[in-house]
Structure 1
Amino acid sequence: MNAADPRPTPVREPEGPARPRRLFDRDDEWAALTAFAQDPKSGPGLCVVSGRPRQGKTLLLEALARATGGFYFSGQEATEADSLRRLGEEYARYRRAAAPSRWPDWKHAVDELLALGDTRPLPVVIDAFPDLVEASPALPSVIHGALRRLAGPARQNRTRLVLGGETAPVMSRLFAGSPLRSIAELELRIQPLDFRAAARLWGIEDPALALRVHAVVGGTPAYRYDYVNDDVPRGPEDFDDWVCRTVLNPRTPLFREARHLVDEETGHGSHGACHSALAALASGCTTHGEIAAYTGQQLTDASRALALLRDHGLLLSQPDGLRPGLVRHRIADPLLAFEHAVVRPRRTALESEEAGAVWRSARADFSRIAEDCFAQICRHWAEHFAAPATFGGAPVTAAYGSLGSDPDSPEAHAAEVVVRGHDGQGPTRLLSIGLARLGADMDVEHLRRLHRLVDAVAAAGEDTGRVRPALYGGRGFSPELHAAQDRGEVMLVDLDRLYRGH
């Protein structure tokens, strides 16, 4: 029922498949959304779904509406009157009404939409919500008031309102300063696929090839189909050609995607600072001071660019694994690192020269970011895939760690994988210190260096009595290292274990 029309509101019955085939590896998100949408309890419900662009959020929400007979509307950058007109037309099509609804303001529109759930649990999905709020800042308060009015004990409304939007400050404010926070039942953040799921998405079984592809495109589902025309490397020998005909090809959408992603997300006036900060990160800078020095900015100016990138999900920050007072930054999306290390410095050449020659000149830069990608994959494996017994406790964090620079050997007191977690004796006990090398054959010298680092950590006052030394290698380990593993002196983790083991 609704106040304007006492007749029962007709709704569409569920139709189509439960979920589309291209909705890859979102089982947990789909289960959470469908459970929310079909919850039979009385009273309206609110769910907020956010995620960076190209992660499949819209596909997920459209599928939810189709599978449950719900209503779906996607906002656009427009005036309030234009958005209300479009919404009225979509609502009329959904209701199979002869004429579109004409609402004077959002209060009337929201009341009508929420009335769709007067007879049964029914999802009402409003996607691209930040675009609507841009023109109508009071919209979150309007929705909050309407939901509160329907939540009284005498009301039987069971609308399940789903607000979707990209990971941007507007979506963050829904849970930080908006009254909606107090009544939201579910928050879903649609993340990029992890490295294992990405390999399955691309249909790549060879871990070495899967890792190299991941170092280019990361775990964004849209890049698999829409941005490379379903082009997948046919094998390790095809990787170089695949790079040239996709991400280095000015005729493909992927060629300009990273630049557009930054420009669309960060807003006018900040593009240059954000691109420079990403270039600094792609070159190996990880601290605030290093980034400011690379970009030639004051610390405060660099901070603004880093904060903007972080707010939009393009930058991740984490305390150093051995010096927690030092925060290190890294690029969240491998494609952004590839853009700023490989493509951006050579964009003019790529638009006028043969891609193969440009790619050959860029291999050293790609090797550097591939090493960084490998180290991050090792950390992700330690946190999410390694069994608790692997490190003698449940991992909580895995981070890059350092004890400071040695003038004679800057890397001598650094480790790519510092694991902390629970072993029954403390919440952040040091469990493991590990070195990660993708392009080097690891031998006993790496183990000696690792032992020296563990000794240095102990000398700095950390309890290392139960630390498990680990070596993560992309090209294998020497016989001496395998013998050391048999003696319990080190744990060896290769690509096959990273992609398939625990």
Structure 2
Amino acid sequence: MDKPVEMFDRDHEWSALSRFITDAQPGATLGVVSGRRRQGKTFLLDAACRAAGGFYFGATEATDVESLRRISAALTAHVRPATPYHFADWFEAVDALLALGAERPVPVVIDEFPYLARANPELPSVLQEAFRPLREQRTSSRARMLLCGSALSFMGKLLSGNAPLRGRSGLELIIRPLDHRLAARFWDITDPRLAMRVNAIVGGTPAYRREFARGDSPTGPEDFDDWVVRTVLNPETPLFREARYLLAEEPDLRDTGLYLSVLAAVAEGNGTRGGVAGYLERKATDIAHPINVLEDAGLLHRDADIFRDNRSTYRIAEPLIAFYHAIMRPVWDQLERPGSAGRVWQASRRRFTSNVLGPHYEQVCREWALHHADPDLIGGLPARVGHGVVHDAKARVGHEVDVAVIGIADGGRPPLLAIGEAKWNDTIGIAHIDRLRAIRDLIRNAGRYDTSETRLICFSGAGFNDKARAAAAADPDIRLVGLDTIYGTTPR
């Protein structure tokens, strides 16, 4: 299967689909593809069907009877049988789909599968029976059926626990947003500081550039403010209301006001359950369910404290939603008035830096340490990267650690490979390094981690002063990481 030339990256995903679809083994197989909306799942699967001569069906919100009528018509147009299909139930429809693979491996895609299962909750059980081992319709077919959906809470449960399709799937592929490096290439941005600012708003969702912004990308750092005003804050563009629609499209989120308030609390810096409850003036037990639902939907992410097992914090997983709650929602009425975007953005830039860009930069630093950093730079291969608070019992204060890299335990205490400080707008100096040294001593005294080779990493979006550079030159345990390293580019 040749990947379409117009498809950006997705090499891993295309390779996984190619192996699954072209597998010559006898017997029909089942795969599940999921991911948040706007990531290009439909484009990827439709391209795979075109490349391999397969069948693609995109479900819609409809009654079970109408969906059966639609798939009957779609399969009739694809196969062109002597008499049109008129499926009475999904048993007939699934067997007809399996029959497409009678002669060769062929992809059969059912997109937006949660719509069908919501109209007919028995559909997963129908597929369970259809893919039963030794069943003739399965053994005589080499159809490669792919179920796809954007409702992460539903798709995540499709193959879990005692779900009917547990053990029936041969592929479970998650289409994730582009990481910060790929996103910069996709938006055609070569300046790392500009790339980080854009990424803090739109993240790595491909559709936001091609469809929602109509290919509009900042031409340079000086164009960033104008770009925000003419795209994200412009009521005439789809990006303007996208954050609201993302929430409304999740089927498990019924009390939208409550979920919006939970996200607003997190956007305001209330990252713990107690903090969210206090912001909403409710008991912590009352907000447990909405937090869990938002987690299942992929809109909230829970980060465990590296240094305290019983404490965790929440962050908004989608940058555009974080931007909406921090910048747009408080002044929504003003933004809906034409011509107000420039004035609103001028007054919101400081809030954007502190509430959106700073936390996003810290998260990108953590992701860089986990997925991109040279093990020689951070002291080894990371098993876990996170953040946390180190308590100083003598001074009765807590010290926040932006980046903590835990190595692989080899029978003893887990090694703490590195701790780091991430500052977007601050030039790193010797005071930041001394602070990390003191925190390392506190962690050593606590005895939980092996700190014998812990490195001190300073991340900065603004650079490093001479004293910091001199300290790093004199001590191999001190590392300075700038935006060029984060983005894998050559320093200017």
Pairwise TM-score range, normalised by the shorter structure: over 0.9
Aligned-partner Cα distance in 2 for 1:453–1:424: 24
CA shift in 2, pair 1:313/1:207, >3 Å = same
Partner of 1:229: 214
Question: Which letter does structure 1 place at the counterpart of 2:482?
Answer: D
TM-score, normalised relative to structure 2 = 0.94
- Partner Cα distance (1:240, 1:405) in 2: 42
> Displacement, 1:44?
0.9
Q: Once structures 1 and 2 are overlaid, which stretch shifts more, 373-382 or 349-358? A: 349-358
Aligned to 1:420: 406
The superposition leaves residues 211-260 of structure 1 with CA deviations (integer Å, 9 ceiling, x where unpaired) of: 00000100101001111111100000000000000000011000000011
Aligned pair partner of 1:359 in 326, 345, 365: 345
Match of 2:66 among 82, 90, 113: 82
1:75-474 mapped onto 2 (5 Å cutoff): 75-97=59-81, 100-148=84-132, 151=135, 155-176=139-160, 177-265=162-250, 267=252, 269-352=254-337, 353-368=339-354, 369-404=356-391, 413-422=399-408, 424=410, 426=412, 428-462=414-448, 463-474=450-461
Q: CA deviation at 1:325?
A: 2.1
How far apart in 2 are the matches of 1:396 and 1:224? 34
The aligned counterpart of 2:10 is 26
Match of 2:474 among 487, 491, 494: 487
Aligned 8 A contact 2:34 2:173 in 1: yes
Counterparts of 2:328 and 2:117, CA distance in 1: 35
1:56 corresponds to 2:40:
yes
Secondary structure of the equivalent of 1:180? coil
Kindly state the Cα deviation for residue 424 of structure 1 after the two structures are TM-superposed: 4.6
Query: What amino acid does structure 2 have at the position aligned with 1:459?
Result: N
One-letter amino acid of the structure 2 residue matched with residue 109 of structure 1: A
Q: Is the 8 A contact 1:322 1:401 kept in 2?
A: yes
Aligned partner letter, 1:445: A
User: One-letter code of the match for 2:62?
Assistant: A
Letter of the 1:301 counterpart: D
Over residues 96-127 of structure 1, what are the superposed CA-to-partner deviations in whole Å (9 max), with x where a residue is unaligned?
24653101111111111111111111111111
Q: Post-superposition shift, 1:282?
A: 1.2
| Residues 379 and 418, structure 2, Cα contact 8 Å, conserved in 1 | no
Whole-angstrom CA distance in 2 between matches of 1:284 and 1:316:
14
Q: How much identity, in percent, do the aligned residues show?
A: 45
Q: How does 1:37-56 map to 2 (within 5 A)?
A: 37-56=21-40
Q: Is the 8 A contact 2:102 2:141 kept in 1?
A: yes
Give yes or no for contact 1:51–1:166 (8 Å, CA) kept in 2: yes
SS at match of 1:226: helix
Name the CA distance, whole Å, in 2 between partners of 1:452 and 1:111.
66
Distance across 1 between alignment mates of 2:107 and 2:440: 55
Structure 2, unaligned stretches of length 5 or more?
Answer: none
Match for 1:481: what amino acid? Answer: A
TM-score normalised to structure 1 length: 0.92
Deviations 1:323-348 (A, max 9, x none): 12211211111111100000111111
Q: Deviations over 1:273-302 (max 9, x none)?
A: 211111111111221111111122211222
**Residues 164 and 296 (structure 1), Cα distance of their counterparts in 2 relative to 1, 3 Å cut:** same
The 3-state SS of whatever aligns with 1:182 is: coil
**What residue in structure 1 maps to residue 487 of structure 2?**
499
Deviation at 1:169, TM superposition (A): 2.7
Q: Give CA deviations for 1:65-123 in whole Å, capped at 9, x if unaligned.
A: 11000011011111111000000110011012465310111111111111111111111
Amino acid paired to 1:385: H
Whether contact under 8 Å (1:394, 1:423) holds in the other structure is: no
Q: In the aligned structure 1, how far is the partner of 2:194 from the partner of 2:138?
A: 60
Confirm or deny: 8 A CA contact 2:422 2:458 kept in the other structure. yes
SS at 1:185's partner residue?
strand
The whole-number CA distance in structure 1 between the counterparts of 2:184 and 2:322 is 19
> In 2, Cα distance between the equivalents of 1:128 and 1:252?
25
Shift in Å, 1:436:
0.2
- Does 2:461 align with 1:477? no
**Matched residue type, 1:224:** R
Which amino acid letter does the alignment assign opposite residue 420 of structure 2?
G
Q: 1:149 to 1:430 in 2, by over 3 A?
A: closer
RMSD of aligned Cα (Å):
2.1
On the 8 A contact 1:421/1:427 being kept in 2, the answer is: no
Cα offset, 1:173, TM superposition: 2.1
User: In structure 2, the residue corresponding to 1:455 is in which secondary structure?
Assistant: helix
Q: Distance in 1 between the 2:173 and 2:225 partners? A: 37
Q: Secondary structure at the match of 2:382?
A: strand
> Aligned partner of 1:435: which letter?
E
Structure 1 position 355, deviation (Å): 1.2
Q: Is the 8 A contact 2:243 2:324 kept in 1?
A: yes
Deviations 1:164-210 (A, max 9, x none): 11143321221113231212111001111110110011010110000
What secondary structure does 1:169 align onto? helix
Match of 2:50 among 66, 75, 80: 66
